[in-house]
A and B are shown apart, each in its own frame.
Chain A
Amino acid sequence: MILILVAVLVAVAFALHTRSRRDLPERLVAFSTAWLPADRRGWRQALVAELSAVRGHRERWLFAAGVLRLALFPPASRPASARTCATVGALTSAVATAAAARLLPTLAVFVAAFGLLMTACATAFAGRWPRVAPSGTRLAAGAAAIVGVLAVAAAVVGVGIAHPAATRDGTHVFSLVLAASLSMYLIVGLSVTVTGHTTRATRWGGVIGASAAVVASILLAHTSTITGLISPVIAGATLAAAIVVGVVTGDRSSATRAGVLAAVLSAPLHFAITVVALESSHPTTLTNPYDINAYRGSGYPDVASYLLGDALGGEIVSFAVTPLAMYALAAVAATGIDRLRAGAARRGTGPGLATRTGRTAG
């Protein structure tokens, strides 16, 4: 039910967020070119402008498809770095997987999937890394994304070492979902560092919102307020970032992206903090009748493994759906701010609605 609600919210948010007079090829080109490395900024503008000269529905779609391909596989700014990353990453993944299979067999699938996906991400980003050093906010966002993902991996491995049965995953679904989710978080977080998707205000909003969420997560780690499918801490940070950036910039896209960035940067650290707090609380008591019945037939060797395994599964599901849910929340908040500003402008009591098409490179 909650997942359906999230899906509906996402659909509504996407519809609100993408309303535009531009045709679909133009939107596709604008979206794709924003993923080009930051030092290809001139090429982004050139491709958008070139589409304006392309006539015919089919030709425009073909051009847009070509630009999408270019955005996905741009010429590497640093091909040697990409090759080094691919080689080192593949070797490290192989060694880590072999070690996990021997020492932590319940995590072997996760380690293998995580290693391969991280290698792919690192290779892609090494090839796209701009020739000019990124600004402070870009580096802060990228560093937060990397630290968060490593913290999640460390927290899960920590549980696997202390309570191997808690990380048992017969179907491998949770292992693969967690590895894929971590990759998604890393891609979104690092894309802020090397692409032109965000303005400086967006990055500041996202980084400050995420920092506040992490501090709140630490302070509330041993209370029940940070558990549940969607963390109220992350939701609060997302809303705050979207609202503040929306008010400051008057730009709906920047506001939405700030909210999403706050969520994407804070959720991994929130996950790691929650898991470490659960593990350090040494749960040994079953308190509700459902758990008491379920534990008897679960095959877990002890209560702690059962509770931690159950909590870990819930956290992984929450972790996977958080970006979509927070995107919906940020888009709705940004649209609300947008409407309020438009209403105030019509009444002549507030600032006019700014229409911004340019982006600020940091």
Chain B
Amino acid sequence: MARTRRPSPQTVAVLQALAEQPTQWRHGYDLCTQLDMRAGSMYPILMRLADRGLLEADWETDRVAGRPARHLYRLTGAGLAYAAALDGELAPAVRPDRRPRPELGRA
């Protein structure tokens, strides 16, 4: 964590959404829907988190016929620690909307 610049509220929201269920793999579009963010905002954040080693990505193994395998994301150990540290520092105003939503399966 050499970078000390404060992350954007959107980045914090993504980190916290992923930290809610740290073992569960999430789809990028599902995160967009949950956080009401556009793909043009979500994917740069995911890319930066992956570049910094805070996020791991994998391809889904439970394939759905007729469409390609999708990318799945979850926080790494470093990402979880970073999210926890942010959670302790940040005011509730910047926390993501934790509205209830359907459970997302891995596939």
Interface residues of A (CB under 8 A from B): 40, 42-43, 45-50, 52-54, 62-63, 65-70, 73-75
> Binding site of B, secondary structure by majority: helix, strand, loop or mixed?
helix
Measured CA separation A115–B69 after assembly (Å):
45
CB atoms of B29 and A54 under 8 A apart: yes
Measured CA separation A44–B88 after assembly (Å):
35
Q: Given A40, A45, A65, which contacts B47 in the complex, CB threshold below 8 Å? A: A40
**A46-B71, A67-B39 known; 17 other A-B pairs, CB under 8 Å?**
A40-B47, A45-B71, A47-B43, A49-B68, A49-B69, A49-B70, A50-B27, A50-B39, A50-B71, A52-B68, A53-B29, A53-B70, A65-B39, A65-B40, A66-B41, A68-B40, A74-B44
Q: B32 contacts which chain A residues (CB < 8 A)?
A: 63
27 contacts between A and B (CB under 8 A): A42-B57, A43-B71, A45-B71, A46-B70, A48-B68, A50-B29, A50-B39, A50-B70, A50-B71, A52-B67, A52-B68, A52-B70, A53-B70, A62-B39, A63-B32, A65-B39, A66-B39, A66-B41, A66-B42, A68-B40, A69-B38, A70-B39, A70-B40, A74-B47, A75-B44, A75-B48, A75-B51
Tally of B interface residues using CB under 8 Å: 20
User: Which residues B9-58 have CB closer than 8 A to chain A?
Assistant: 27-29, 32, 38-44, 47-48, 51, 57
Q: B47 contacts which chain A residues (CB < 8 A)?
A: 40, 43, 74-75
Measured CA separation A53–B60 after assembly (Å):
13
CB atoms of B43 and A67 under 8 A apart: yes
Q: A45 contacts which chain B residues (CB < 8 A)?
A: 68, 71
Measured CA separation A140–B78 after assembly (Å):
40
Instruction: Select from chain A the residue with minimum beta-carbon distance to B47.
Output: A75
CB atoms of B44 and A50 under 8 A apart: no
Measured CA separation A40–B48 after assembly (Å):
11
CB distance from B5 to the nearest CB of A (A): 11
A-B interface, 10 closest residue pairs, ranked by CB to CB distance from nearest: A66-B39, A66-B40, A69-B40, A46-B71, A52-B67, A49-B68, A66-B38, A49-B70, A63-B39, A75-B44
User: Which residues B62-85 have CB closer than 8 A to chain A?
Assistant: 67-71
